[in-house]
Structure 1
C-alpha cells in the first residue's frame, strides 16, 4: 500500500537529518569546485581533467614558495573526491598552534582561483566561516552564521558572497541555500553576488604581507645536539615539528625514558654533540625556548657551564630538542605516525651500515644561519603604550615589541574596539555598523563619519543614578547618601579606611549594637584572611580582634575566648604530611603543569625547584 499524504507529512515533521560532523579543533577544511557553463555537470571526465590541472598547479606553487616551509602539524594537500554526485577537490589540514599555517593555505587558494577563472573555493575551520569572522565589523546585518553555509566563496582572488533573494529587512534573513543552488546563482544570476572592497580587505587583512611573510614564519637558530639528530634533520627538516610537539605536550609516561639511570637505554645519548643550524617554525621555537624544563640527570654533565651564556643557551635548547625526539620515538602512542616510522627506518639503516653519520667536515659544509630572537621579547610598557594610543606625536617614544606584524595587528584591534565603544547607534543586539535601509556595504554615513572623525568619546557614568540603583537592589532606603554627603543620611560609608559602617541613628541602640558587632566580626575575618590587608607586612590579627570586641565584652566574651584558642592552634598547627605530599607532587610533574603546580600558582607563589648539583 503506497504511503498517503498524511504519512508523508508525518514523516517530514519527525525526520531530522544527521547533523554535519564538526571539524576538530585547530583544523581547516577547503573545497574546490569547477563551475563552468561550458562544461556539462554530467560530463565527469572533463571536470576531472580540469581538477587535475588545478592539482598540478598547486604542487608547483608549493615547490616555488613552500620548499623550505615547515608545517606545524600537517601540510596542504588536495584529493579528488565525489560528494552527492559532484566531483571536487578537498583538503583538510591540522595546523595546531600555528595559525599562520591556516593563512598560508588561504593564500594558496587565492592564487589558485586567480589562475583558474572557473574555480570556486570555500574554506572554513572549527570556528565556521572564519573569513567572515575576520570581517565581522563590515558585514551586512542579514549575514548571520545560521545562513552563511554555501554563501561565501573565493573566486578570481576575490571574496564573493551570495545575497538572499528576498529579505524583509536588513536584520532578517532565514534563507538557506544548497550547493546546487549556489552553483545555479553563480552561473545564471551573478547580480546576487556581493563583492565589497571593505569586506574583502578585512577578510584578507592577514595576507597583506604575503608571500614575503612565508619566510618570516620560520626561525633559524644554532643548537647543540647529538650527531644522530643532526643526521635526521639534515635528511628531512620537517621532523622537528613532531619532536617539538612531543616535548611541548609531554606527560609523565612520555618522561619515563628520560628518568632512567644511565644512558644505555636512550636512543639519542648525550654524547658526540655537534652544533648545527636548525630551522624551526616560529611557534615551535617559542614553545621550545619558553618551556621551563628540569634538566634530566643523564644530561647534567653534558651541558657547558652557565658562565658561557651563548654556549649554554645553544646546549640547553639542543637538550630540550633531543628530549623531544627521545619521547617521540619511545612513546607507544606515536608508533603509527609516518614521521616516526621514517626516522626509525633511517636509524636502522645507520645500524646496518646502509647510511653513515655525517662527519665534522661534512657538517662544516652545511649552511649556518642564526636569526635574531628579539621578536620573542615583549616590553609591557610599550604594550601599554600601544593600548593607550601613545605615539611619537604626543612626545612618547614607542618601543618595539614582538614583530612588525604583531604591532600592526594590535593597533588594528584597538582601533576597531574604540570604534565599537564610540558607536552611539548600538542597540540591544550590539553596535549597528551599517544603515539598515542600505544594501551597499561600502556606503558610509558621511554625517556620522564627520562627527566621529578625530573625536575620542568617553563613556558617560551617572554616579548618583548608579548609587540609587544599588541601594534599591540591596533593599536599603533610597535617601541614603554615599560618602557622607546629603542632608540627613542614616548611615555614611567612609571613602577610605576599613569601610566600617558607622551607626548614626540612636533610636534603637540594642539593634544597632548587634549590627555593629556582626560587622566587626566580618571585618575581623576578612582581615585574618588577608582580603582587606593591602600591606604585605604581617599583622597580629588576634590582637586586633580582641581590641574590637572589647567594645561589647558582655556579648562577645565567649566568642573571644574560643577565637583566642583557635588563633593559638593556627599558629602552631602545620600539616607536615600535606607539605610533603605537595612537594612530592611537584617533583613528579617533571617540570610540566599539574595539580601541585596549579595550586602553588593559584596561591601566588613560584613553583620551587629541586636543588641540584650543576656543573658551574
Structure 2
C-alpha cells in the first residue's frame, strides 16, 4: 500500500491498523455534527471548552422542548469527538488529530416527527450559539436540500452537495461552487476552510430556507400534538411501569410491531406463572403514546395468546384489546434474547423484581383514581377522502390556492373547458374531423379558413391548452381503457396516421373504411405471430387436404365473411386459457382486451 494513499474518516489502512471500510449511515437514522468557527478559539483546549458550553446549551434546549416527549427509538444525543483518549492516541501516533466537534445520531425509526424535532432543536441551538456551524443529514444525504428541491439552483445536484449545507445563526447557508469543485463533492476540511475565510460568500436564500424548513412552521406547538393519550385496560404492574416512566412504551410497541415466531414463543403458554405480566388484576388508566406507536398498536391484527383466552369475551372492548397487545409487547421485549443487554430491559426487570419482593408497592385503586384520565380524539386516524380530493385539486380549506402547481385555478378552468368541448364533440352527430362550430358558418366564411384558424389558435384553444397530450388523456379517461393497453395496442398511433391522411386528402372520413383498415392491421399483426391461421394459409403449415372440422361447412349466412371462424384458433385460445388455471396469462389478457370475460374453469370435462 502506498504511503500516500488517501484515507477518509472511518477508514484506516492496513499499515495504520485496519478498522473496516467507510461506514454507511444506518437506515432511519439522522446524524448531526457541530463545529466551532470563532477567531477567539484557535487552540484545541479553547475549542473544546467552547464545545462544552454549546453541549450544555443543547441539553438545556432539549429539556425545554422535549419535556414529556416520547421518542420512537433514540433520543437527541450529543458527544464531544474525538474524546481525550482518542486525541492522546492520535498524538502518540503522530497522526493529524481530528478537529474537535460535537457529534450525535438519532434512530428515529418510523417516526419522521423525531427527525424533524432534531432539526428544530439544532436550529434553535444555532440561534443561541452564532459560532456553531451545524451539519445534519440522514441515509438519503442532505435531506434539507431534498425538501427544498424546487427552489435550488441547477448546479446544486446530489453529486456536489456533500458538506455544502450548514445551519448557522438560524439560517441555512450553502457553500457555493468554485472552479475546482464542479465535478466533485466538497471535502469537510475544504468546507470549514471556506467558511472561515469567506463567510460573506455563502449563499443565503429566503426561498431555499422557506422550503427546507417548511415542516418546522408549526413548531414548537407540533411537539405536543405528536402525542396521543388513550384509556386502556392493563394489568396493575404494567400501569405502574408506564406511570413511573412513560418512555418504556416505545420499545414495547416496537417489539410487538416487529414480532416474529421466536419472540412469540413465550406467549404460547397457558401457565400465567411464567409470564412477567400475567393477565390479571386489571385497571384502566390513561396512557401516553406517540401517534406512530398508537397507530402501529391499533392497526395490527393479533391472535389472542392462550394465557389470555379466559378474557376473550372482554376483548370486544377496545380498551382491553389494546391493553392485551401492549402487555404482550412488554412480554416479548423482556423475553427476547437479543434485548437482554438493553438498558430499558434491565430497568424494567429490576422494577418488576422490586414489585415482586414488596419493595415497590403497586398503586391502590384510590391512588389510581387520582391519576389523569385524559383521552384524545382518534379522528386523526381516519382518512377524509374529501380533504384528500381537495388536496389533489389544490383547494385546501376552501381557500384559493397560490398560482402554479397542481391546484392552479387556471389549469382547472382549462381542463373543464377541454372536457366540455370534447363532450360536445361526442354528442354532436354532425361534427366532423374539424370539430364542432360555435355557430352557423356561411359558405363565404368557409372560403376563408386561415384567418379563423389563426384566431382560434391565438384565443380560446390556446388558453385551454388543448394539445395532443391532453386529448390523449381525455380519450383514455372517457373510454375507460388503461393507459398501458392503449400504448401497447398501437391503435392510437394508427388513428393519428389515418386522421392525418384524411386531413391531407381533404376527404370526409369513411368510418367503415377506417375500421376495416384497423382490423386488417390487427389481423396482420396476429398472423405475424402465428396466432391467426385460416384454411387458406398453406404456406404456414396448414394442409389443403386436412379434414374439415365440425361445423366448418355447415355455417350459412347472407354474408359468409362474418362466419369465417377459425376453430383451431378458438380451440388453442380456450386451451391456453384453461392452462392459466384461473391466473393471469396471455389468453385471458387478449380476451379481456376484446371485451370478453372468460369464466374460470372449475375442472369439468374437456
- Map 1:352-431 to 2 at 5 A: 352-389=357-394
* SS of residue paired to 2:275: coil
TM-superposed CA distance for 1:70, in Å, is: 0.3
Cα 1:164–1:227, aligned 2, differ >3 Å: closer, same or farther?
same
Structure 2 partner of 1:153: 166
Partners of 2:159 and 2:497 lie apart in 1 by 49
Aligned to 1:331: 336
Which SS does the other structure have where 2:272 is aligned?
Answer: coil
Distance 1:273 1:470, change over 3 A: closer
State whether residues 500 and 519 of structure 1, in contact with CA within 8 Å, keep that contact through their aligned partners in structure 2. no
Q: Check 1:378–1:519 CA distance in 2 against 1; reply closer, same or farther (3 A cut).
A: farther
Residue number among 216, 220, 224 corresponding to 1:211 in the alignment: 220
* TM-score, scaled to structure 2: 0.68
Contact 2:171 2:209 in 1 (8 A): yes
Cα deviation for residue 26 of structure 1 reads 0.2
| Structure-2 change in CA distance of 1:179 and 1:509 (3 Å) | same
Match in the other structure for 1:75: 75
Equivalent residue, structure 1, for 2:547: none
Cα distance, 1:121–1:500 mapped onto 2, change above 3 Å: same
The worse-fitting range, judged by mean Cα deviation, of 281-290 and 81-90 is: 81-90
Q: Greater CA deviation, 266-275 or 382-391? A: 382-391
Aligned to 2:275: 266
TM-aligned CA distance change 1:142 to 1:264, over 3 Å? same
Q: Cα distance 1:163–1:458, how it changes in 2: closer, same or farther (>3 A)?
A: farther
The 2-side partners of 1:173 and 1:215 are apart by: 44
- Please state how far the C-alpha of 1:300 moved relative to its aligned partner: 2.8
* Structure 2 residues without counterparts, runs of 5 or longer: 12-20, 88-96, 412-462, 473-482, 501-508, 543-563, 583-587
Q: More displaced, 243-252 or 478-487?
A: 478-487
2:210 equivalent in structure 1: 201
| CA pair 326-154 structure 1, distance change in 2 beyond 3 A | same
- Helix, strand or coil for the counterpart of 1:510? coil
CA contact (8 A) 2:393 2:406 kept: no
Q: Deviations over 1:320-351 (max 9, x none)?
A: 00110011111111111111011011111112
Check conservation: 1:152, 1:161, Cα contact below 8 A: yes
CA distance in 1, matches of 2:211, 2:466: 26
How many equivalent pairs are there? 473
Determine the C-alpha separation between the residues in 2 that align with 1:476 and 1:125. 50
What runs of 5+ residues in structure 1 fail to find an aligned partner?
Answer: 1-6, 396-410, 423-454, 542-566, 574-616
Measured after TM superposition, the shift of residue 182 of structure 1 is: 1.8
Matches within 5 A, 1:505-516: 510-511=536-537
Q: 1:233 matched to which residue of 2?
A: 242
How many angstroms apart in 2 are the aligned matches of 1:516 and 1:80?
Answer: 83
1:10-67 per-residue CA deviation (whole Å, 9 max, x = no partner) reads: x87x878656321000000000000012221xx1111111111111111211222111
Once the two structures are TM-superposed, the CA of residue 572 in structure 1 deviates from its matched residue by 9.1
Residues 572 and 375 (structure 1 numbering): CA distance in 2 closer, same or farther, change over 3 Å? farther
Cα distance in 2 for partners of 1:535, 1:340 equals 62
2:469 aligned residue: 461
CA gap 1:490/1:105 in 2 versus in 1, 3 angstroms: same
C-alpha separation between the residues in 2 aligned to 1:232 and 1:456?
64
Distance 1:378 1:85, change over 3 A: same
Closer, same or farther: CA 490–276 of 1 in aligned 2, 3 Å? same
Higher relative CO (CA 8 A, sep ≥ 6), structure 1 or 2?
Answer: 1
1:50-107 deviation per Cα after TM superposition (whole angstroms, max 9, x unaligned): 1111111112112221110000001001100128421000000100000000000000
d(CA) in 2 for partners of 1:348, 1:186: 55
| Alignment of structure 1 residues 493-572 onto 2, 5 Å | 493=519, 510-511=536-537, 517=566, 520-521=570-571, 523-524=573-574, 525-526=576-577, 529=582, 531=589, 532=591, 570-571=603-604
1:287 is matched with: 296
Show the 5 A alignment for 1:164-175: 164-166=177-179, 173-175=182-184
Contact 2:486–2:492 (CA<8 Å) still a contact in 1? no
**Offset of 1:296 from its aligned partner?**
1.8
What displacement does 1:250 show?
0.3
How far apart in 1 are the matches of 2:62 and 2:167?
A: 19
Measure, in 1, the Cα distance between the counterparts of 2:307 and 2:487.
66
For residues 432-443 of structure 1, the aligned pairs below 5 Å read: none
In structure 2, what is the Cα distance between the partners aligned to 1:139 and 1:205?
A: 14
Q: 1:416 to 1:469 in 2, by over 3 A?
A: closer
Contact kept? 2:242, 2:248, Cα under 8 Å:
yes
> What residue number does 2:349 align with?
344
Residue of structure 2 equivalent to 1:26: 28
- Counterpart for residue 322 of structure 1: 327
Structure with greater Cα Rg: 2
Contact map agreement 2:228 2:290 (CA 8 A) in 1: yes
In 2, are the aligned partners of 1:481 and 1:489 still within 8 Å (CA)?
no
8 Å contact 2:234–2:284 — kept in the other structure? yes
2-structure distance, mates of 1:151, 1:174? 14
Distance 1:537 1:69, change over 3 A: farther
Structure 1 residues 148 and 479, CA gap change in structure 2 (3 angstroms): closer
